[in-house]
Structure 1
C-alpha cells in the first residue's frame, strides 16, 4: 500500500503539472480559497481511489473542487466538535473547580485531558472513512451514517492503512520542517513535498477503505467478527 502510494502521483499523466498546481495551492493556502480547493482535490482522490481508479485526477472543474472541499471542511469541523466540547467541559470545569478545591479541580482536568485525547484519536481514526463515504455518496449526511462504515473501521486492512498513513504524516512532517528551515527556497520546496505527501495519505486512506469495504461485501455481517482490527 505504501509503495503504491508513492507511485500513484508520480506515474500518472501530467504528473509534473499536478504537482506544480498542488504545490502552488499549498503555498497560497493562507488565502483560504486555495486551501478549500486543495481539500476538494483530496476528496476527488479519495473518490477515485476507492472506486479502483489508479490514475491521479486532474485539476479541473474547479467549482466542484471548491464545493467538495468546503463540504469536507464542514464535516471535519463537526467531527472535531466532539473532543472540543469534552475539553471545554472537563478541562474548563476543572479549572473552575480549582478555585474551591485544587485536588478536585486538578482531577477533573486530568480526566478531561485523557478523555479529550481518546476522543481525538477516535475522531482521527474515523474521519478518513467518513470522508471516503462522503466522496462515494456525494452527500454530507452519508459521512455521519456510522452504522454503514462501522464494519470498515473494525477491519484489519483499514487499521493497517490508517497506521501507514500516520507514519507518512509523521515522516513527511519531519522532512517538510527540515526543508522549510532553509529560508524562501525551503518554504517553496516544502510546499510541493507537503502536497505530494498529502496525496499519498489520501491514496492510502482510499485504498484501505476500498479493501475493507470489499471484505464487508464478500463476507457480509460476519466481517465484524471475522476481521477485527485488533
Structure 2
C-alpha cells in the first residue's frame, strides 16, 4: 500500500462506525476523562497492527485511561529536551534591561539562533515519537518499549526514512485540509447551533484517522 492508498483508506476508516466517532467526541471534551482519547488511539494502532479492519470498541475504559496517561508520559519525555532548549533560549533576554542597547541586540540574536536549533531538535524528536508509540503498542502498552531506541530506529529503517518523512508530510497536510473543511462546515452549521459538535468531532475523527494511518504504515514494514 503506497502513501496515497494509506491516507485514503485511513480517511474512510472512522466513517465505518459513526457511533464510535460520537463516543470519542464526547470523551474528548471532558477534562481528565479525555486521557481515554489517547488510549483509544493506541488501541486503534494495536488493532491495525493485528490486521483487524473493524473499528475497536470502548470496553475496559480503565485500560484506555491508563494507556492515555502512558502516551502523555512518552510525549513529555520525548519533548522535554526541546522544551529545555526553549527555556534556555529565553534566558539571554532576562539579562538585558535596555531593549535598544547593543547587548540587547546580541542577546536577541542569540535567542533566535537557539530557537532555530530548538526547532530542528523538536522535529528530530517528533519523528521518533510516532514509531515509539507503535513500539509500545507492539509490546501490549509496555511503557519501556517506547524508549528502546534501537528497535524504534530499526522500524523506521524498515519503512525507509524517505518514505517515512513523506508520510509525515502527507498526514500533516491531510489533517490540515480536513481541519479546514470541517472548520468551515462547523462555522456554517453554527446557524443551527450544532457547529460546535462538528468542531469537537473533528478532533475525534483526526485521532482515529492518524492512528489508523500509522498502524497501516508500520504493519506493512513488518510483513
Please give the TM-score of this superposition, normalised by the length of structure 2.
0.84
Q: What's 2:103 paired with?
A: 101
Structure 1 window deviating more from structure 2 (168-177 vs 106-115): it is 168-177
Q: What's 2:137 paired with?
A: 135
Does 2:79 align with 1:73? no
Q: What's 1:124 paired with?
A: 126
- The correspondence of residues 68-217 of structure 1 with structure 2, limited to 5 A, is 68-89=67-88, 91-99=89-97, 101-137=103-139, 138-154=141-157, 155=160, 156-182=162-188, 183=190, 184-214=193-223
Q: What's 1:4 paired with?
A: 9
**Counterpart-to-counterpart distance in 1, 2:121 and 2:183:** 27
Aligned-pair distance for 1:123?
2.4
- Kept after mapping to 1: 8 A contact 2:85/2:118: yes
Aligned residues: 207
- Kept after mapping to 2: 8 A contact 1:162/1:208: no
Higher-RCO chain (CA-CA 8 Å, sequence separation at least 6): 2
The verdict on how the C-alpha distance between 1:198 and 1:120 changes in structure 2, with shifts beyond 3 A counting, is same
- Kept after mapping to 1: 8 A contact 2:13/2:209: yes
Aligned-pair distance for 1:72?
0.7
The SS at the match of 2:204 is helix
Structure 1 window deviating more from structure 2 (98-107 vs 63-72): it is 98-107
Structure 1, gaps ≥5 residues long: 215-230
